[in-house]
Structures are given as C-alpha cells and as structure tokens.
Amino acid sequence: MAERPKGSAEQGANKPALSLHVPEPTYRPGDPVDFAHITVPDAGKQARPDETCDAIETSDLCYDLVRVLGNDNKAHGPWDPKLDPDTLRTMLGHFAMVRAFDERMFRGQRQGKTSFYMKCTGEEATSISAAMALASDDMVFPSYRQQGILIARGYPLIEMINQIYSNRGDKLKGRQLPIMYSSREHSFFSISGNLATQTPQAVGWAMASAIKGDSRIAATWVGEGSTAEGDFHAACTFATVYNAPVILNVINNQWAISSFSGFAGAERTTFAARALGYGLAGLRIDGNDPLAVYAAEKWAADRARANAGPTLIEHFTYRAEGHSTSDDPSGYRSAQEREEWPLGDPVTRLKNHLIELGEWDEDRQAAMDLKCAEEVKAATKEAEKNGILGHGLHHPFATMFEDVYEDLPWHLKEQSEQAIRERETKFPEGRPGS
Amino acid sequence: MIEAINEALDLKMAEDPDIIVMGEDVGYFGGVFRATAGLQEKHGKNRVFDTPISECGIIGAAVGMGAYGLRPVPEIQFADYIYPGLDQLISEAARLRYRSANDYIAPMTVRSPFGGGIFGGQTHSQSPEALFAHVAGLKTVIPATPYDAKGLLIAAIEDNDPVIFFEPKRIYNAPFTGYYDKPVEPWKKHRDSVVPEGKYSIPLGKARIAMEGDALTVLAYGTMVHVTEAVCLEKGIDAEIIDLRTIVPLDIEAIEASVEKTGKCLIVHEATRTAGFGAELSALVTERCFYHLEAPVERVTGFDTPYPHSLEWAYFPGPVRIGEALDKLMSE
Ligand SMILES: Cc1ncc(C[n+]2csc(CCOP(=O)(O)OP(=O)(O)O)c2C)c(N)n1
C-alpha cells in the first residue's frame, strides 16, 4: 500500500487540495437570463441515417439537435416527416386539448376537487407527436407527464377526470394518486409514483413481444432527472443485450422539481449520449419541434420494428410551468427562463407552421381553443356527478381489499369485515353513495 | 429437491408456451445449482436465457413480460441478491394488480435459493422471507421436501399473483451434516423417496402435517422442519410438526387446530429473530388460541447478527437450541 506522507500537515502542501464540485444552475430567481450557451442549430441541417444503421452511426446525432421547423415556420431537411395538413391539424387539436385539460384540472386542484395535479405545458409534443408516430397498439410505459398520449389515443376525458377525482366512476377504484392513469384498451401501462421503474418494464414487454414473434413494440418515457435511477441503466443494458424493440424517451425538461439537469449529469455530456456507452442508437432532438419529435419517434419505431434495435431519444425541452400543484418554481429559477427559452413553444410553432402552409389561421385557432375548453368543462361537470375527492362519492369500502390478490385470503376477509363494522359504527344511518 | 424443481419447470414449460425462465447463468449452464439444467436445450433460447447481472432489470423485465401476457419464472441466484430488485418487487410487481384495478397483473414466480448451511457466508445464506411476508400482494412459498417442491412450484407458476419461491439450498442435494448436526434421518427419507412423474400441484395456503402428535405443536418451514423432526424423534417427544409450506397465504386453520389440540406452540425458523416471521406466528397463536395455551409461545430462530461464515453452525438453530426449547415447553 502506498504510504501517506508522514509528519506535519505542511507536507504535501504543494499539491492542490481536492475540491468537490456541486453543480449550480446558471440562473436563480431574479437573475437575467441569457441562453446563448445553448447551441440551437439551423433546422434541417442534421443528417438522417437509415433506420437500420449501426448504432454507432448515430453518434453525432447524440450531441447535435435534430430540428425540422425553422424560424421561418417552414419544414426543412431530411428529417421532415412530410405530414399532410389534416394530420398536422389533428396534432394541433390534441395540443389544444391537453392545454385546456391541464388548465382546468390545475384549477380544479386549487378549488379543492382533488389533491394533486401535474401539467405538461411546453412538453406537449414529446408525448402527443411521439404517440402519433407509434401504432395505436404499441405499448407505452409512460411516466406522469404524458397525459398527451391518452388524449392522442382518444381516451375519454371523463375517465381521466374520474381518476383525478378518485370518485366512484374511477376505473382504478380510487387507489392511485391523481394522474396515475392506466388503460389496457389503450395499451397504456399503469403509472408508478416510483420514478424510472417503468423503464425496465417497457424493455421486458418489448422482449416478450419479440419472444412471441409479435409486431408490436414498446416505448417508455422518463424524466432526465430520473435517468440517474438504477432502473434506467438496467433498462438500457437489457434493451441492448436483447436488441429489444423498444424506444427509451428521455424528456430533458431541464428541471427535476428544484434540481436542474446538472444533478443528473447534464454538465458533462448529453442524455442522448448515454446511448453510446450501451451500444444503443441515440438521437437528441428539439423537443419543442413537433415535426422533429414525430420524425425521430417514427425513425426509432421503424428501426425497432425492423429488428434493427432499440433507440434512446433525448427530447430537449423546457418545463414551462411548476413541477406540480405543490411546487412554486419562482423559488428556485429565474422567471425569465420560460420567455427566453430558445426553442419556443411547441403549440405556437405548430400553429405558425400550419398558418405558413396556408392551412390555418388565428380565428380557427381561437375557435378550437374555445371548443376544447368547453369540451373539458362539459366532461368535468359530467365527472363531478360521480363525486370529487373526499366528498363521499367513492367506491364501497370493501373494494379496498379487492385485487391485492386474485382471491381474497382469510386475513383480508377479516380486515374487510372490520372496515365495514367500523363504518357502520361511525355512520349508523349509512353515508350517501358509499 | 433440485431435480424436482427442474422437473416442475420442464413440465410446465412443455405445457404452457408462455412460460419464460431467465436469470443469471440459467441458460446454457443450467444455473449455479443446476435447477434449470437442460431446459434451454429443450425449450429454446427464446424461453430460457441468461440475463445481465441486474436483479432490478430481471424483475423489472418480468413485470413487463407479465403485462404482455407471458408467465416469467425468473431466478435470483441467491436470495441475498434480491435486494437490488426489491423496488421492482415491492412497488411494482406486488401492487400492479391493485393499482391498475386488475387492468394489469404480474404473474411471475421468482425462484431463489435461500438459507444457510453451505458455508456461503453473509451473502449466500440469508433467509429474508419475513420481508416479503410483510408486503401486501406477494405470496411466499418455502418447500421442505422434493415432493412439495415440485407440487408447490407448479402451483406457484399457475398462480396469477407474484410468488416468491424460496428453495432451502441446504437440502437441495445432500442430507445435511455438520460440526454440530447429525445426518438427519427424516430428511433422508424425503430425499430418497421417488417424486412422482407427471403433473400434480399442491395448493398455496395449505400446510402439511410433517409429524403427528399431541404433546406440543411446532410451526416450521424449509430445512427447519427436518431438524426439528430429528430432535423430536431423538428425544421421544410426541410433537405435532406443521410444515407451513407457504407463509403467505398462511394456513391459519391448521395452526389453530393443532395448537388447540396440544396447548403448546414452538416456532422454529432460521432467519434472524427480531421482527422475523416467528413474531407474526407467535402473535397469531396468542390472539387466536390464548385460552388453549398451557405455556407461553416459544421461538427458536437464528441470531440477530449478520450471517457468519465459519461459525454458521453455531448461528442457525440446531439440535441444541431446538432441544432446549422443547425441553422447556415440555416441562411447563
Ligand atoms: C424513486 C423516487 N424518488 C423520488 C421521487 C420524488 N420525485 C417525484 S418527481 C421528482 C423529479 C423528477 O424529475 P424528472 O425525472 O426530471 O421529471 P420531470 O418532473 O421533470 O418531468 C422527484 C424527485 C419519486 N417519485 N420516486
């Protein structure tokens, strides 16, 4: 073993003292913002390798930023997915709906109708445009900010709201935190509150699909902060080892609650570049560019479907609003960040693109926004008939003990009887709806 | 016992194409204990394969496979290595049915050798069953005989809930001998018995009466069933030994019936004492059979230390510790 220098503290004093680096974001509340350090390449300048290329051929794209929509609101370059105006309008419609939905549910939480809500403002493209590039029966393993997938897949708003209110209409029987949806019919996996756990699960599903010779693929979404979890690394290893037909979407929205992306390692390399060490294909894309998101997801889906392998996509985006209803971002980041974000807003960019194409105008946009707001309002009214959180209209007590196991074991049967007894003692007249 | 496990896997795989066996070294090599020997050759690489050394990945992937509609039977090489996969087991597999209100299930059987007695040191000897018994949504199975290992494993694989299947590695092959332990005749009887060919299953939640008697009741599982039986035989104690077989679900009726008959209860397990499954058993017996009890419930367990290597025979319950407890109960 090497000897430590003996003697006084002065010995070795000519060597620099070691120091710990604790990452610090560039801007804190009150700071003026200048995003000049973020390189925004011109749209259309990034090469588009063939979907079946070797993973290594995506190396450059792991450090670049794939962009399609330019500042001129036109689509450029080899990644242009060349979507027809109807598809673009459908996408814009989903964007508008998610915004309207988020707005109303956020307010609903403030009004005490539920305990919690999370918006995806500014990140709509990363779920909606991505979902539109997948087949409707491809399995998705989302995190909690991908409500856009359900909207894109036509999941009824009322079911989403029933879940958020945990009311007697909630298909999940009031067991999950609001927004932790699940819908087997929509190939949408049950959301976990434990971060990143869905990533190896998505890979396992994709492996199963390959084992069975199916043609469906899987996709998963994880926040950049959560990529630090071991599960994500297990997922990357499994994906590459078995060449699983899976897409790993990393949503780099710059913030994990109050911790900036530097705490997940962003100061040293990109999240897309994580792919390289595993031998996965990697793409770093402008997550606020709906066409780039669509094109990248389609590229990765085609690659997976061709047995050419998994892809890790970093969606470079910005969380425009707070983390959740429990969060106040003005406490930890500059208020200017949102306005100064160099990649703009996905909804505005898609709208302007359609206008540029001569396929849309501001009046129609205003009418669409209004229509979405009314639809959400109507669905909310309808859902409220099934109750809001904590107002008694929930599932019967006995359901609490169901589905722990396929069959009710003796100890849960005894505990269920106890719960019913307690309720009868507490409310001898019975409680409405319970 | 290891052949019985291999047979159960082989038989179920032949019957159900959705069963997948995976884990570290389980493929070509057939597992470090040879539990999966020959399965890859027979059922193909698509259904029996090695995995990266990532318990989180193994269990996480199994959850996804279950959601797809497969029935994975992952192996965790030693129970001591299940901890990196715990979050996937506890937060994901165990709760998936509940949190999705039956939308998705995780029908997996996680097999893992557990317990000491092979000089495996701290990281190849632990008995973490109480941890799993504490988690709602998991079932925990521990066979004590080759016959049971086959029947219980078949039932576990057919079960639609996630099952932890702990295999007492001390009795995988050999009758156990050791510095302070004699060859154990009751186990030899099981080891040398012929496990019937073909399919049979043993329902989860049904205990086995390993030895009938009316002097006192012993609740045990795994290796400890045989050690206790040997001590009782040697001492000529007319004990009733209940091999629990599954700790969740638990056969409370068999426990109650026996304790009501004998009036005394000894609990024997190899795991550490504090907050071990014996504590739960003791509480249940006290709550349910108090007026039949003629003496306080006794527990014989491993010590509350990490698992020692060279002193393992002094660590886990052997004839001396069990004998003392039996004598004490018999004298009350
Ligand atoms: C295993 C785990 N640890 C901590 C948390 C608490 N938590 C919830 S969201 C969050 C931040 C996640 O950030 P990121 O992954 O970047 O996703 P984003 O919220 O930005 O979409 C944390 C720490 C959790 N839910 N699960």
CA A141 – ligand 1 centroid, Å? 16
* pLDDT over 50 (residue A28): yes
What pLDDT is attached to residue A247?
99
The CATH code of the domain at A55-325+334-384 is 3.40.50.970
What pLDDT is attached to residue A434?
46
- Let me know if B124 is a catalytic residue: yes
Tell me the whole-structure pTM to 2 decimals. 0.94
Asked if the C-beta of B65 comes within 8 angstroms of chain A's C-beta atoms, the answer is yes
Three-state secondary-structure class, residue A7:
coil
CA atoms within 13 A on the CB side of A232: 23
The residues facing B46 across adjacent strands are none
The minimal CB distance from A238 to the residues B57, B105, B136 is found for B57
pLDDT tens by residue, chain B, 332 residues? 999 999 999 999 999 999 999 999 999 999 999 999 999 999 999 999 999 999 999 999 999 999 999 999 999 999 999 999 999 999 999 999 999 999 999 999 999 999 988 888 888 999 999 999 999 999 999 999 999 999 999 999 999 999 999 999 988 886 554 444 555 678 788 888 889 999 999 999 999 999 999 999 999 999 999 999 999 999 999 999 999 999 999 999 999 999 999 999 999 999 999 999 999 999 999 999 999 999 999 999 999 999 988 888 888 898 889 999 999 999 98
Asked if the C-beta of B103 comes within 8 angstroms of chain A's C-beta atoms, the answer is yes
The CATH code of the domain at B205-331 is 3.40.50.920
**B2-171 and B205-331 in the same fold:** yes
**Where does residue A71 rank: exposed (0-12), middle (13-18), buried (19+ CB within 10 A)?**
exposed
3-state SS of B216-255?
A: EEEEECCHHHHHHHHHHHHHCCCEEEEECCEEECCCHHHH
Query: How many A/B residue pairs have CB atoms within 8 Å?
Result: 144
d(CA A345, CA A124): 9
The sheet carrying A281-286 orders its strands as: A139-141, A218-223, A246-252, A311-316, A281-286
Which residue type is seen at A6? K
Orientation angle between helical segments A290-305 and A124-133, nearest 10 degrees:
40
Domain boundaries, chain A: 55-325+334-384, 398-426
Region A121-138: mean pLDDT is: 98
pLDDT tens for A48-89 read 999 999 999 999 999 999 999 999 999 999 999 999 999 999
**Cβ contact, residue pair A208, B63, below 8 Å:** no
Angle at A376 between CA A372 and CA A380, to 5 degrees: 170
Nearest residue in chain A measured CA to CA from B95? A404
d(CA B278, CA B263): 18
Find out whether B159 and B111 touch, Cβ atoms under 8 Å.
no
Residues of A with Cβ-Cβ distance to B54 under 8 angstroms = 234, 237-238
Instruction: Name the residue among A213, A217, A206, A202 with its Cα closest to residue A242.
Output: A206
The closest residue, in CA terms, to atom 13 on ligand 1 is A256
Quote the minimal CA–CA distance from A138 to chain B in Å: 11
Which of 3.40.50.970, 3.40.50.300, 3.40.50.720, 2.30.110.10 is the CATH number of B2-171?
A: 3.40.50.970
Residues of B with Cβ-Cβ distance to A194 under 8 angstroms = 87, 91-92
Pocket of ligand 1 (CB under 6 A): A 145, 193-195, 223-226, 251, 253, 255-257, 319, 323
What pLDDT is attached to residue B173?
80
Q: Which of B24, B51, B100, B281 best tests the A interface by mutation, with the highest count of A CBs <10 A?
A: B100
Interface pTM, i.e. ipTM: 0.92
Quote the minimal CA–CA distance from B13 to chain A in Å: 14
Catalytic residue among B43, B124, B190, B226: B124
Greatest pairwise CA separation for chain A in angstroms: 83
The residues facing A243 across adjacent strands are none
Domain boundaries, chain B: 2-171, 205-331
d(CA B176, CA A365): 78
Asked if the C-beta of B121 comes within 8 angstroms of chain A's C-beta atoms, the answer is no
| Strands B246-248, B139-141: pairing kind | antiparallel
